[in-house]
Structure 1
């Protein structure tokens, strides 16, 4: 049923997006069309990566899902940087961290917990990810804010470039650690099950759909960025709220759905890898890459967040670590994460 709805939205949404651009339809209407179209396309990207991931195991499967899920947001952010909307991009990165750790993980734990009283996942991966979360958010994001108080714009950018390069190198090292040198060392029982699952699409079909959906998302995302200013004025939304809530939810729609479905199937290793792995990818790869890409545009983006953004991200990290470090979860822990997300969402709306 959901797949049929996504098909209809895609078939109608893409022609409407093209027509709206050519005929200059009202921005507020097109904003809704663009968002729904991107969410539907993200659904196809999620199904394609899930098909590719079935034979690859939960770690690589989660990584694939997070990577192509974040590709949507990366594309939106690049076009936003091109338009000089640095605050929207930084806010969307904040929103991705909050969305993945609190909304995606929270919904996954909650929905899975309604079906299963107690769900387990790899505790060694959870503890490994906790250390990386502490480093990438609390160290790499807070340090630039603290030091930038005594710096001019050029020095802020230089510091951000240095931190970005370190983050990218450490992220690649983390992948090498999990997928090569220590692959299978901390194996969880879910990963060792020999249950054979048939992919929805063949590898070739999944790759073709993935490439076409990504190209379509790139086109629609560029159009979406041009509606931000008009929509903000119409509804009284700040750039901060648009970035933290709207762009983050639209950009991460694919992994939101995939993580919840995996949790409902009791495949918690994949669900947690999507939620937490996607956060790490945003913090340690996407954000640094955007800093480097911004050097090609007129307005550069230092890795310096506002105080509310930093406090919200640090709080999300600490709550997630406290809940997930034991390697098991239930619906109430999911509800706790969701409550934290709603509280922060209200705060950003009122700012």
Structure 2
């Protein structure tokens, strides 16, 4: 999915300096963003105070929306560099077309993984005949320096590994969980897992202590059990949109529109649910490299973004893709595009 904001902000992130070396419980509230004419999303990452979770650098959660009498998602052709897009549907269908010639419809439970590399363009639209509900998440993964200029690619994986336990069904989108490995191609150590939890579930998931993690709730809610040290404020939050739990707090509820950042240093995660819920667990090794994110581009400096924008507007480099008129790029910001740290 494109960032259709006509005045996108500059996001600078990366490097390990601001990654906590211990478990934390940092609750971030989403902000609502309108994409196109109708689609509203909850933007969870980047946020004020948290820009990356491992290599995960962008999270939009949309729906559930009733589109029975509407066109649904209508994202026109737009460009990307330096990242992977991860399309994950809970309900509905999305028609993906790109400048490689890919022409597929993504359904719930299937992984649409597009690697932009040096340049790709794509469009995303609800099919003319589509399900009544649209609900899902669009996520971006930053590519490391060794892969950011690679040839673009697209993968559709219709079958993903799952793990089941009492009250839990875990689907591995990317990475590996207890031996269940996703077929999706990754370029840094990371993980993404869809957790379907029954009402009354109480589960424990093994974690990599060297990874940093976050949990969000596309549907329902969950309670994360475990203490965390205060970061950046008192127990009600030191920054707008953030609540930070002190070490004495044992339980934190993650509801719709929340992202709970967990920090590093955890060997397991315990989650309890009172109602049937869907959660996403995202994590990875803290990203060493510093980045600049602007519009649909992830780069290492402002010059890369300036060049990418110029090429898109001139019809160079990205190729053609069906799905309507190409989306014009916003004007470049007046402030310099300079990479800085991972968190404010």
Higher helix residue share: 1
- Same structural fold, with TM-score higher than 0.5 when normalized by the shorter chain: no
The answer to which structure, 1 or 2, has the higher relative contact order (CA under 8 A, 6+ apart) is 1
Higher strand residue share: 2
The TM-score normalised by the length of structure 1 is 0.27
